[in-house]
Copies of this chain bind each other. A is one copy, B any other.
Amino acid sequence: MNILRSFVEGRWVEGKGPSATLVNPATEEALASTSTAGIDMTAVVAYARSRGGPALRELTFAQRGELLKAWSKALHAARDELIALAMRNGGNTRGDAKFDVDGAIATLAHYAELGAQRYAGLHLWVPRDGVAVHINAFNFPAWGTAEKAACALLAGMPVVSKPATSTALVAHRLAEIGAPLLPEGAFQFLCGSPGDLLDRLGYQDLVAFTGSSQTAAKLREQLARRGARLNVEADSLNAAVLGPDVQPGGATWDLFVQDVVRDITQKAGQKCTAVRRIFVPAAQAAAAQEALLERLAQIRVGDPAREEVNMGPVSTADQLRDVRAGIARLAGESQPVFGGDGSVRALAPEGKGYFVSPVLLVARDAAGATAMHEHEVFGPVATLAKSDGPAELVRRGGGSLVCSLYSDDRGFLRDCVLAVAPYHGRIYLGSEKVVGQTMGPGTVLPQLLHGGPGHAGGGEELGGLRGLSLYSQRVALQGDRALLDAIAPTAMT
């Protein structure tokens, strides 16, 4: 009997173990047997990653199209054979079999020739017929509420918005101001626990969550069971990278120092986009450390009600405890060179407030370190590391919201962008030309995507109209062109 084999690691391999039998469903005649017993799946995945991925990415878009064209043509040449197989193994009529086989040929050909599209239909985005639940983090009560609401409302979905309780005052006021302006039911606001709200959701509903990856993991299970959509924006180990061409004293150097210190200390480091890891070439490491320390020394911690203060406390007693524990964990593999001994001189009444000093650590061995790449300390804390090939270390963050690259060398920037892009939602290029025109990597712009893969939650918010897709069902409309034109203007195409 015909034994079917698997194609793995460049070879057709026969399974070594119990096999399944393929039959003709019209006659029950046995046609073939097959098995994957004995195949090493670790090797299969490794092979795809180490060989297939790089090979495909080396090709241009057009070249990949050529491959699909070749496959389509080769299938066409074997069309009769394939149809006969389908009739025997699938119980297909000749028409049924053609439907499948010709579908394969046409699909490969279509993607091979994308660009010369025939007009056969269009795509509409229609609002999902449910409720958008927004769960926001404590650090951006206003912007977080607004960025989620803007996309949901413009898309046409009603919102139930829940701020983090500890900093709810701002969100509450935002809601008070907004609620009377909106249609009845379009915006609701839950100031405290969501209770059993999430157990009330179904597949037309969704949750947009910003917060910790632990909470996100629970939500994933809960909402998967209910079939509701979930967008997560969670922890992120954002990196700043200094290019080998950037010399102390130049405009790009100064931009790097200024951006990094701002994105360590702004909002006392309680920003999902804050810089947590800093990679500099060995040759510039000493000068970079010195420049960062000098600027950090200008930070005055204290009660923001006092005018001279330029960094406030962290948000709650719990946050302070977590930040201190996180610093201790980082200090297990890196050396604090600023702050980090637990003491802080705060311009505030003695013994009150959740203050912490900015902390800079220097990694002893960034490649061997784990905490610096995996543990987000949600305070004014970052780790500096020497590296002359930073892309691999950047990727160790396991998926981040933003990476900032400082250089005026296009070759370096291009290589670095392509190496780290699959691991990020946004990449910020700091160069001479943007000095004075940028708010740094920590600022999320509505026209650009906010979110990141992996550790950062795998979500996508904002990005202009892209931000509406979470709240929309995309639907293809097929039919007579005049009819489509008559219907289409009622919804976004």
Contacts and interface: CB of A to CB of B under 8 A. Distances in A.
A487 B413 contact: yes
Number of copies: 2
B177 A414 contact: no
B474 A186 contact: no
Contacts of A359: none
A304 to B, nearest CB: 4
A303 interface: yes
Contacts of A298: none
Given A26-B352, A453-B473, 16 more contacts: A7-B187, A27-B353, A34-B192, A39-B195, A68-B154, A75-B174, A93-B311, A93-B312, A94-B304, A97-B304, A99-B266, A100-B143, A103-B140, A418-B490, A448-B476, A463-B476
A174 to B, nearest CB: 7
A293 interface: no
A126 B418 contact: yes
A486 B170 contact: no
Contacts of A154: 61, 64-65, 68, 111, 114
Given A108-B146, A170-B89, A185-B10, A120 B464 contact: no
Contacts of A35: 192-193
Interface string A415-432: 001100111111111110
Given A75-B174, A111-B151, A146 B103 contact: yes
A273 B425 CA distance: 35
B158 A74 contact: no
Interface residues of A, number: 229
A338 interface: no
A183 interface: yes
A475 interface: yes
B8 A190 contact: yes
Nearest to A403: B475
A173 B85 contact: yes
Nearest to A197: B41
B478 A448 contact: yes
B99 A443 contact: yes
Contact of A169 (B89, B170, B268): B89
Contacts of A65: 154
Given A36-B193, A309-B93, A429 B399 contact: no
